[in-house]
Amino acid sequence: MTAQETQTPTVERLDDAHSRVTLALEIGLYPIDVLYGAAYIFIDRAYVLLDKDEGVGRPGRYLVHLRGKNPMSHEQLLALCGEFGNELLSQALRRKVVKQNQKIIEEITTQAIAGAAGGTLPTDFLANQDDGLDFLDDPLGIAVPWEEKFKKKKDEPGAAP
Q: Which residues are within 8 A (CB) of 157 and not within 5 positions of it... i.e. 6 or more apart?
A: none
Site for another protein in 86-105 (CB under 8 A): 86-87, 90, 93-94, 97-98, 101, 104-105
Select from 111, 123, 127, 133 the one that contacts another protein (CB under 8 A). 111
Instruction: Fill in the DSSP letter of residue 152.
Output: P
Q: Give kind and range of the element (H or E) at residue 46.
A: strand 46-53
CB atoms within 10 A of CB 22: 20
Min separation Cβ 116 and another protein, Å:
4
Binding another protein (rule: CB under 8 A), the pick from 50, 108, 127, 144 is 108
Report d(CA 82, CA 76) in Å as an integer: 10
Q: How far apart are CA 83 and CA 66, in angstroms?
A: 12
Least Å distance between CB 117 and another protein? Answer: 4
Q: Please, are residues 1 and 13 in contact by the beta-carbon 8 Å criterion?
A: yes
Residue closer to another protein (CB basis): 108 or 133: 108
Residues 6+ apart with CB under 8 A from 15: 1, 21
Report the nearest approach of another protein to the CB of residue 96 (Å). Answer: 8
Question: Applying CB under 8 A, which part among 48-56, 72-80, 116-124, 142-150 lies near another protein?
Answer: 116-124
Residues at the site binding another protein, with contacts judged by CB under 8 A: 37, 40-42, 44, 86-87, 90, 93-94, 97-98, 101, 104-105, 108-109, 111-113, 115-118, 121, 126, 129
